[in-house]
A and B are shown apart, each in its own frame.
Chain A
């Protein structure tokens, strides 16, 4: 083969290699950028986790309401509020108004000034008789010292986990006893039958399976909070649960990452961790 032809071929190969390297670089950069989008959000302080600001209608007048999940979840199950009382699982979807509270819906379902909790009447929400100080207990955004309970003092005796309170341990040890019934609203039901726990094979070969506890979940959620709206089918293999969808707020991410323990600790769900873990 003549030398000039050999040189041409080598140059072509060099150009091809260069293009390949460039293409790989672009792909790698692209993947890194998209991977950053799907990383779990940095966590706020545990006291801020699950905080909901209700400012649909109350930005004027008494101001926005600050709702802390940590306070209510220590007293009630998720199911009670999100099924029986009818609070939506998405922010701003419930349409809470002072008038609906006064009619005995939403916050007013419990906060009616008559229902008792731990032997004391639960203060009435949006009562006409309330003074500014009483309004500020809920309409507390930007008002220092307006709230009755502070996270640190309130949770001082609760067992702690990798991120704030370990609610599961708190419930198991009896430190908290979440109530699942409101008179006049809830339906009396037979005690929950224990459902079998199971493992879910991870979508990637380098991750150990997920240990899913039906029992733990059903204590807080009953059945109808998860099925079918969050997990729409029981047919195995029809839905691909991925960390991406969880981070987007679907499936496990409907609660985990918003109110229930966050997605940043792999071993809470994948107890054996990744394959390379000791």
Chain B
């Protein structure tokens, strides 16, 4: 009789602990806010790449055609990642990427025409 009661208590305690554990997991690993998404390492990667690619606009005229082509390719590779962002962030960074890519394409076009 005592053993049965003891077993039932242990099962109840284990069940309770399991439930608490599950709830805790949910609280930590549940749907993330946009701010949390921005801090996620995967999302930081696009920002680092964006900063690196678009930090060179001041020097665009000094790059070779090959370098400019590579910068344009990197801009194009960033686009799908930026499209996944929250609405406001997406709008801002898509605009910035468009301008940054546009400038490299503009300079590349100018250099190609210079050679003709």
Enumerate chain B residues within 8 angstroms of A224, measured Cβ to Cβ: 57, 99-100, 102-103
What interface size band does chain B fall in? Answer: 20 to 34
| CB contacts between A and B, total, < 8 Å | 71
Enumerate chain B residues within 8 angstroms of A233, measured Cβ to Cβ: 106, 109
Give CA–CA (A228, B60) in the complex, Å.
13
Give CA–CA (A168, B96) in the complex, Å.
26
Query: Are A235 and B113 closer than 8 Å at their CB atoms?
Result: yes
Given A105-B88, A229-B99, is A190 in contact with B58 using a C-beta cutoff of 8 Å? yes
Enumerate chain A residues within 8 angstroms of B99, measured Cβ to Cβ: 83, 224-225, 229
Query: Are B58 and A192 closer than 8 Å at their CB atoms?
Result: yes
The secondary structure that dominates the B interface is: helix
| Residue B55 CB within 8 A of the other chain | yes
Give the residue name and chain of the B residue nearest to A190 (CB). Answer: B58
Give CA–CA (A75, B60) in the complex, Å.
27
Give CA–CA (A187, B105) in the complex, Å.
20
Give the residue name and chain of the B residue nearest to A105 (CB). Answer: B88
| Residue A195 CB within 8 A of the other chain | yes
Contact with A223, one of B51, B57, B88, B89 (Cβ below 8 angstroms)? B57
Give CA–CA (A235, B89) in the complex, Å.
34
Q: How far is the CB of A91 from chain B (nearest CB, A)?
A: 16
Give the residue name and chain of the B residue nearest to A103 (CB). Answer: B88
Given A187-B54, A222-B57, A235-B113, is A228 in contact with B106 using a C-beta cutoff of 8 Å? yes
| Residue A232 CB within 8 A of the other chain | yes
Enumerate chain A residues within 8 angstroms of B58, measured Cβ to Cβ: 189-193, 222-223
| Residue B91 CB within 8 A of the other chain | yes
Q: How far is the CB of B47 from chain A (nearest CB, A)?
A: 10
Interface centre among A88, A187, A190 (most CB of B within 10 A): A187
Bitwise, B82-116 to A at CB < 8 A (1) or not (0) is 00001011011101100110110111011001000
Q: How far is the CB of A71 from chain B (nearest CB, A)?
A: 22
Query: Are A86 and B51 closer than 8 Å at their CB atoms?
Result: no
Give CA–CA (A243, B89) in the complex, Å.
37
Given A223-B103, A224-B57, is A187 in contact with B51 using a C-beta cutoff of 8 Å? yes
Sort A-B residue pairs by CB-CB distance and give the 7 closest, nearest first.
Answer: A234-B110, A86-B92, A228-B106, A224-B99, A224-B103, A187-B55, A105-B88
Q: Residues of B at under 8 Å CB distance from A?
A: 34, 50-51, 54-62, 86, 88-89, 91-93, 95-96, 99-100, 102-103, 105-107, 109-110, 113
Q: Report 6 cross-chain contacts, Cβ distance below 8 Å, ordered by A residue.
A: A88-B95, A190-B58, A222-B57, A223-B58, A223-B103, A227-B106
Q: Residues of A at under 8 Å CB distance from B?
A: 83-86, 88, 95, 100, 103, 105-106, 187-193, 195, 222-225, 227-229, 232-235
With A83-B96, A193-B62, A224-B100 known, 7 other A-B pairs at CB within 8 A are A86-B96, A95-B91, A187-B55, A189-B56, A228-B103, A234-B109, A234-B110
